[in-house]
């Protein structure tokens, strides 16, 4: 079975500091895609960053970066210079490349991040 | 550029009733997926529609059904509602072959079954 595990139900960080959210996954596939989504109180899932499994280079999007360890099946998210607007639920997710079809997303249970002033 | 639009935003139904939720995908997207997110949990995949056909289905009973229209919009129908169906229902759209770009989500429909 394909699973995603987020071992930190809640985390907090001071504004302007750095925080790392953990994610591990399990799949027998070799070709897949990993994502971090942010869900603020508005409920909409917002894509934060994505990583293609065949790329060894870690993805970076402004203050957000990932540490992708394929052998360990680990995909952590680092948020630098945390801002109050980063307060939200963060979900790790992955999907496999199903040929001509779109793979469905498999989500972890989420980490609730609070950024404190 | 409009994102994914879902309606209604909130809904209260009685156990045993039927409900229909609606989704308009992001402009240019042709694939619609539905997810159920129970309180405090991550979203769970219900099914996916492409070219007006159900292409994939998660572990949900037949009480959950859907439809995709020629304009790519979609409906999720749930029959014989149970208390356990109370959840946030999220619609996500994507472009076939564009899996690398992820999915665009709507803000969801909050369904409460009483």
d(CA A102, CA A98): 6
Between A19 and B98, where is the model more confident? A19
Task: List CB contacts of A62: < 8 A, sequence separation 6 or more.
Answer: none
How would DSSP label each residue in A25-63? EE-S-SSEEEEEEEE-TT---EEEEEEETT--SPPEETT
| Separation in Å, CA of B25 to nearest CA in chain A | 14
How much of chain A, in percent, has pLDDT values that exceed 70? 94
CB contact under 8 A, A100 and B108: no
The pLDDT value given to residue B53:
93
User: B 44-103 residues with CB below 8 A of A?
Assistant: 44-45, 48, 50, 55-56, 58, 88, 90, 92, 94, 96, 99-103
Please give the pLDDT value at position A83. 97
**Is the Cβ pair A45, B100 closer than 8 Å?**
no
Whether B38 and chain A come into contact, CB under 8 Å, resolves to no
The model's confidence at residue A97, banded by pLDDT at 50, 70 and 90, is low
**Comparing C-alpha atoms, which of B8, B2, B33 is closest to residue B109?**
B8
Distance CA A56, CA A64 (A): 17
Contact B106 A44 (CB under 8 A): yes
Provide the pLDDT for residue B98.
65
Q: What is the pLDDT of residues B5-35, one digit of tens each?
A: 999 999 999 999 999 999 999 998 999 999 9
Lowest mean pLDDT, pick from A71-75, A100-104, B23-27, B75-79: A100-104
B56 closest CB neighbour out of A35, A104, A107:
A104
What confidence tens digit (pLDDT) does each residue in A23-68 have?
Answer: 999 988 888 889 999 999 888 899 999 998 888 899 999 999 999 9
Cα–Cα distances in angstroms (integers) from residue A68 to residues A37, A53, A59, B25, B34, in the given order: 16, 8, 8, 31, 28
Tell me the CA distances in angstroms from A58 to A76, A79, A90, one per residue in order.
Answer: 10, 14, 19
Determine the Cα–Cα distance for residues A14 and A115; give it in Å rounded to an integer: 6
Residues of chain B with C-beta less than 8 angstroms from the C-beta of A42:
107
Q: Stretch A80-106: mean pLDDT, rounded?
A: 84
Nearest to A44 by CA among B9, B78, B45, B113: B9
10-residue block means of pLDDT along chain B (114 residues)?
89 98 94 94 94 92 97 97 98 79 89 98
**Alpha carbon separation from A23 to A81, B29, B43 (Å, rounded):** 21, 29, 16
pLDDT of residue B103: 87
C-alpha span between A15 and A4 (Å, rounded): 28
- CB count, 10 Å around CB of A28? 7
Q: Are A102 and B35 within 8 A, CB to CB?
A: no
Q: Which residue has the tokens 């129908």?
A: B77
Name, in order, each residue with C-beta under 8 angstroms of B75's C-beta and a sequence gap of 6 or more: B20, B21, B22, B23, B66, B67, B69
Is the pLDDT reported for residue A98 higher than 50? yes
| Closest alpha carbon to B49 in B105, B92, B6 | B92
Confidence (pLDDT) at B100: 67
What tokens were used for B56? 């994939």
CA distance B65 to chain A (A): 17
Is the model's pLDDT at A101 over the cut of 50?
no
The reported pLDDT for the residue numbered B97 is: 66
Q: What is the pLDDT of residue B1?
A: 56
């Amino acid at each position: 079975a394909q699973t995603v595990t987020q071992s930190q139900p809640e985390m907090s960080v001071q504004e302007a500091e750095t925080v790392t959210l953990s994610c591990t996954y399990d799949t027998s596939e070799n070709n897949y895609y990993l994502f971090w989504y942010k869900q603020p109180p508005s409920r909409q899932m917002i894509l934060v960053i994505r990583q293609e499994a065949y790329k060894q280079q870690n993805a970076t999007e402004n203050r957000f970066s990932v540490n992708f360890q394929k052998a360990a099946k680990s995909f952590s998210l680092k948020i630098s210079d945390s801002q109050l607007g980063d307060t939200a639920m963060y979900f790790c997710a992955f999907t496999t490349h199903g040929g001509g079809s779109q793979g469905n997303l498999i989500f972890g249970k989420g980490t609730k991040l609070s950024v404190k002033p | 550029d409009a994102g994914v639009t879902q309606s209604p935003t909130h809904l209260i139904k009685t156990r045993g009733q039927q409900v229909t939720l609606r989704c308009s995908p992001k402009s240019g997207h042709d694939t619609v997926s539905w997810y159920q997110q129970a309180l405090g949990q991550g979203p769970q995949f219900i099914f996916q529609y492409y070219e007006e056909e159900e292409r994939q289905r998660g572990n949900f009973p037949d009480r959950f059904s859907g439809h995709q229209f020629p304009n790519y919009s979609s409906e999720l129908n749930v029959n014989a509602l149970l208390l356990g169906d109370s959840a946030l229902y999220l619609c996500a759209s994507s472009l076939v072959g564009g899996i690398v770009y992820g999915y665009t989500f709507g803000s969801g429909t909050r369904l409460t079954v009483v």
